[in-house]
Structures are given as C-alpha cells and as structure tokens.
Amino acid sequence: MHIVVCDDDKGCCTKIEKWVKEYKTIESVDITVDVFYSAETLIEKMKTGYFFDMIFLDIELPKKTGIDLGKIIVEKYDERLVSIVFISGKNIYCEKLFDLEPQNFHLKPIEKEMVFNDLKKYVDRNRNNRAILKYNENGVKKGIYIGDIIYIEACEKNLDVYTNDGKMTQIRGSIKNIEDEFGKYYIVKCHKSYAVNAKYIERYVNKNLILSNGKTIAVGRKYVQKIKEIWSKYEEDSFR
C-alpha cells in the first residue's frame, strides 16, 4: 500500500506522515509513504510511471490546486485505483469535489483519528475482496476488482479476463502469477489455460465447472482436489 501526502504546509505533511507510519506499526500493514509539497512535483513524478494507492491532498496548493491535481489523477488512473482524501482549511469546496468521488474530505486541523479511519477504510475495502488486478492500457494505469472476475483464460502471452459485467479485458501476464498473487481471494487454477474465481462456481459436473455466467470449463485431473478445497473454503468463509 503506497500512500502520498501532498501539501505545501510542511508541518501538516510531517504529522500525516508520522500517523501513517504509526498506523503501519500498530496494524502490521505493509505501507510506504512519500511526501510532496506541490502539485507540480507530483505530476512530474507521475510522468515516470510512479504509482500510489491513496493520497492525502491539500486543496489550497499554490499554482495548480489540489482540485486540479485531483482531476489529473482521475484522468490518468482508473478511478478504482487511487483513493483521494482532500484536506483544506476552508469548507467552500464541497460541490467542486463531487465529480472526483473522493474517499473523504477533512477540514484542517486534521487529527490522527481522521487519518487512521481513512487508512482503515482503504485497508478493509481491499481485505473484503476488493483487491485490484492492476494493468496498463495505452499508458494509462487501470484496474479490475478481483471480486468482479469470473474467470481468466490464457492466450499466448496475454490473459483474457472475464468479469461479472459481461466484459472481457485483455492484459499481459500469466495464470501462475495471478494465482500466486490472488489465490487468497479464491482465484484458483483449474486447467493449464484457465483460472476461476470460486465465488462464481455454480456446479462441478463430470469433471467440468459450470460458472455463474454459463461458461463451462474442463478441470484438469491434477487441479481437481485444489478446486474442491478452494471452493469449499469460499463457501465456509461466506457464511461466517
């Protein structure tokens, strides 16, 4: 989890950075935090492929404002990838923030409890099957919620990712890497060319998986036991 703080008030940056590190220690969460004192500096960094998951962003920055920067972030990254928490000494900006769909807005002075709550909300969202498969499309960073993926099919060096909105997205990658990274979210390999999300398994019949979208996928012999284990675990976890 990569956090950015962007504020021309160095004192405010220091406090938020300190609290993020405290949260990391208390909750044993893997977090890195970077500080920027202007929108322009962060924009230049973003041009190098720099990426972050969440930003505490001051609205009243010199030159480009936090709202200007927020628009650039939303345009450059899929809105599901970066959570924006706006902070300001004034409460006159609320209407201007609606289109950017920020995670939160805080009036200064910002308090530790506010920062902790924002971090907890982000962490909980990802723990609750909102982990994201990140990929690049024409230089734009995008993402797919793991919980929305029904199945993945390997096609040469690409992966066709089928989601519950009926769409297919092609990305670079391998089935093995996907399973290694997202297996804890019930993504399991069932064939040398397929991985499925146990959440969407309807039935297992005659060595075939029937998925919720009607797709039938043959299960390789060596994958049968693991499929049954992960499917069973998903059902157990769902009823807790």
> How high is the pLDDT of residue 16?
98
| Cα–Cα distance, 4 to 35 (Å, whole number) | 6
Higher-confidence residue of 76 and 22: namely 22
Left (φ > 0), alpha (ψ -120 to 50) or beta: where does 88 sit?
beta
Q: SS3 of 54, please? A: strand
Superfamily of domain 2-128: Response regulator (3.40.50.2300)
- When pLDDT is averaged across residues 23-38 and rounded to a whole number, the result is 93
| Cα–Cα distance, 94 to 68 (Å, whole number) | 14
Give residue limits of the domains in the chain. Answer: 2-128, 133-238
Q: SS3 of 133, please? A: strand
| Cα–Cα distance, 106 to 126 (Å, whole number) | 22
| Cα–Cα distance, 124 to 148 (Å, whole number) | 17
Query: Could you tell me which CATH class the domain 133-238 is placed in?
Result: mainly beta
- When pLDDT is averaged across residues 108-112 and rounded to a whole number, the result is 95
The answer to whether 2-128 and 133-238 have equal CATH topology is no
46 token code pair: 């973003």
Chain position carrying tokens 């299960």: 219
User: What would the pLDDT profile of 197-228 be if each residue is shown by its tens digit?
Assistant: 998 999 999 999 999 999 999 999 999 999 99
Q: Which amino acid is at 16?
A: I
Instruction: Give yes or no for a contact between 31 and 4, defined as CB atoms under 8 angstroms apart.
Output: no
Please list, residue by residue across 8-31, b when 16 or more beta carbons sit within 10 angstroms of its beta carbon and e when fewer do: bbeebbebbbebbeebbeeeeeeb
User: What would the pLDDT profile of 50-108 be if each residue is shown by its tens digit?
Assistant: 878 899 999 999 999 999 999 999 888 765 568 899 999 888 766 677 777 888 999 99
> How high is the pLDDT of residue 89?
85
Is the link from the previous residue into 109 a cis peptide, with omega within 30 of 0? Answer: yes
Percent of the chain, pLDDT > 90?
64
User: What would the pLDDT profile of 138-188 be if each residue is shown by its tens digit?
Assistant: 877 888 888 889 999 999 889 999 998 889 999 999 999 999 999 989 999
pLDDT at 193 over 80: yes
| Cα–Cα distance, 4 to 43 (Å, whole number) | 12
pLDDT at 32 over 80: yes
Q: Which amino acid is at 224?
A: V
Mean pLDDT for the chain overall: 89
